[in-house]
Amino acid sequence: MTGAKLDLDRATVRRARTLARRAGRPIVALATSHTTVSVERAVLRMAGVVGADPDGIPWVNRLVDAVSEEVGIEHGVALPVWDALRQFNGRGKQADLTELAQKASTGGVRFRVPDGREADRARAAARRQVGRGIAVIDRRRRERESLVRRIGDAPRQPWIYLIVATGDIYEDIPQAQAAARAGADVVAVIRSTGQSLLDYVPEGAPRAGYAGTYATQENFRLMRAALDDVSRELGRYVRLTNYASGLCMPEIATLAGLERLDMMLNDSMYGILFRDINPIRTFVDQRFSRQVHARAGIIINTGEDNYLTTADAVDEAHTVTVSQLLNEYFAKEAGLQDWQLGLGHAFEINPDVPDSFRLELAHAMLARELFPKAPLKWMPPTKHMTGDVFRGYLLDGFFNLVGAMTGQGILLVGMMTEAVVTPFLSDRDLALQNVRYVLDAAGNLHEDFHPRPGGFIQTRAHRVLDEAVELLERITDEPGDAALLSAIADGTFGLMKRPPDKGKGYDGVVRQAAGYYNPATDILEEPAP
């Protein structure tokens, strides 16, 4: 049970979850009463719209823009698009959705919102075609499960998680395979700087990413195939991670499902706080993307570690716990299960603080015991890396030890030059040696380690939980239905102030009209076959 080692008060834990639900429900109501251009583009991607125009703008963007300009998207794009396709083909033409998008971009297609029998026909056609795309996602999930059974899985947790991203997928591939051979269980391909602020998903395999590699369907396909090859070689399934965040969160989640990615970074507030993306846009996109992740069997990784890079890791530890509780609520409401909740937290306390190691243990144990069935994603030190590689290597060793002592599920490999320079390959090799040594030497230490009853670690964990409850009470006591939006606007999380009517992408948010139809959410909210 929750209080096994920390002796957490069960009533306090229940109170924390009740308050998180109370804070989160108005946000879910907001998400289910609005749509965004990216949600509508994701629907068309599920239906098979592919490719881009000569300027590199995807046809899904062109099609949604054409519908928006003519009839708006408050009814969803499904009814006007499939109605237009039927009319276009009824004139003796034959076109698929991609060709329709091409015609629409030059003004060659007229859109309307059909009603009556014509609306019924459009609705049925949209559901059939989108359903075929979701069936591909279902098939890719079964494929993963089959490969894990046939090839084998990582022998134990925590899974060792390593970032590989050169900007060029064709350089990433051999590095990712080498990382797997050196012990990585999860390979993350970090995105090119600024991609989260693009309101379109690039096509093909661009090779000029900066400090990361562009997230595209083709790059997903190439890396997945390469990791499948090395998985067979090693006799264990190597998981692939990318980023479902930013202005195209729903689309990237869809592409990840279609190409069998295994994990996606998908935090409920990261884009709001650290990329200044409009809060409403983020919450609407996030719910749809998590429904896709739930269906695809993808594990999400949340981004609470980022709060501690802008706020003090001791004073603001409770905001991490609050965010974890909110992320859990939003995730489960969207259909994700406990095993898919890679809730984030980090080793970011200033090492000069007295008892910093014990404080880190207390925070890690609290996360572990609040979410006993979730894998959790434990993040390495970055903020207090100074460039002293010997000190940095030691800090990473402490970080790995806390991971072993508290039974974390996903352990991101820390580099001794983390956040100081782009790590060299030799840094990565040493970092993997550090992880392997600590995990092998510690073994199942988490089974043996129990903090002293009433001692420093238990007391600290209780205090952080109490502060989290107090913060949730302040949030839920705010007047109005969207109290969480007010808390975000006030700088409660990560000290970033983000008002609900500001931020990038706000012009792509629309309140749903009566009769709004989205075949994807219809299918995703039904029980999976």
Dist. CA 114–CA 161, nearest whole Å: 49
Dist. CA 296–CA 148, nearest whole Å: 15
Residue 2 is predicted with a pLDDT of: 40
Q: If you count them, how many residues does the chain have?
A: 529
Contact status, residue 103 vs residue 87, Cβ threshold 8 Å = no
Catalytic residues: 270, 305, 377
Sign (positive or negative) of CA dihedral 364, 365, 367, 372: positive
Dist. CA 489–CA 318, nearest whole Å: 18
Which tokens is 256 given?
A: 């990840």
Contact status, residue 266 vs residue 293, Cβ threshold 8 Å = yes
Encode pLDDT of 100-147 as tens digits: 999 999 999 999 999 999 999 999 999 999 999 999 999 999 999 999
Dist. CA 59–CA 308, nearest whole Å: 39
Dist. CA 108–CA 88, nearest whole Å: 10
Residue 1 is predicted with a pLDDT of: 34
Residue 93: pLDDT band (50, 70, 90) is low
User: What DSSP assignment string belongs to 269-302?
Assistant: SHHHHHH-B-HHHHHHHHHHHHHHHHHHTPEEE-
Query: What value, to the nearest 5°, has the Cα angle with vertex 300 and ends 430 and 382?
Result: 35
Residue 6 is predicted with a pLDDT of: 96
Encode pLDDT of 334-381 as tens digits: 999 999 999 999 999 999 999 999 999 999 999 999 999 999 999 999
Least confidently predicted of 178-192, 287-301, 404-418, 483-497: 483-497
Encode pLDDT of 466-521 as tens digits: 999 999 999 998 776 688 999 999 888 877 899 999 999 999 999 999 999 999 99
Query: Taking residues 439-464, what's their average pLDDT?
Result: 96
Residue 307 is predicted with a pLDDT of: 79
Question: What number of other Cβ atoms are within 10 A of residue 173's Cβ?
Answer: 22
Query: Taking residues 327-336, what's their average pLDDT?
Result: 97
The answer on pLDDT for 91 being more than 70 is: no
Helix (H, G, I), strand (E, B) or coil at 35: strand
Encode pLDDT of 142-187 as tens digits: 999 999 999 999 988 899 999 998 999 999 999 999 999 999 999 9
Dist. CA 403–CA 415, nearest whole Å: 15
Which tokens is 182 given?
A: 């050196």
Q: Which segments of 21-178 are extended strands (E)?
A: 34-36, 159-163
Dist. CA 265–CA 252, nearest whole Å: 11
Dist. CA 328–CA 16, nearest whole Å: 12
Query: Taking residues 397-413, what's their average pLDDT?
Result: 96
Q: Residue 77: which of 100, 93, 55 has the closest Cα?
A: 100
pTM of the model: 0.95
8-state DSSP, 504: B
Helix (H, G, I), strand (E, B) or coil at 379: strand
Provide the terminal-to-terminal Cα distance of the chain, rounded to the nearest Å. Answer: 32
Dist. CA 184–CA 181, nearest whole Å: 7
Which residues are CB-contacts of 249 (< 8 A; sequence separation ≥ 6)? 38, 266, 271, 282, 285, 286, 288, 289
Encode pLDDT of 208-230 as tens digits: 998 899 999 999 999 999 999 99
At residue 291, what are phi and psi to the nearest 5 degrees? -65, -40
8-state DSSP, 342: E
**CA dist 361 to 219, 358, 521, Å?**
38, 5, 41
Query: Taking residues 435-445, what's their average pLDDT?
Result: 95
Domains of the chain plus CATH, in order, are: 36-73+76-112+114-130 (no CATH), 131-443 (3.20.20.440)
- β-partners of residue 377 are 344, 410
Q: Residue 342: which of 320, 374, 365, 317 has the closest Cα?
A: 374
Residue 493 is predicted with a pLDDT of: 83
Peptide bond preceding 80: is omega within 30 degrees of 0, i.e. cis? no
Contact status, residue 435 vs residue 400, Cβ threshold 8 Å = yes
Least confidently predicted of 309-313, 321-325, 384-388, 398-402: 309-313
Contact status, residue 193 vs residue 211, Cβ threshold 8 Å = yes
Q: Which segments of 124-246 are extended strands (E)?
A: 159-163, 186-188, 239-243
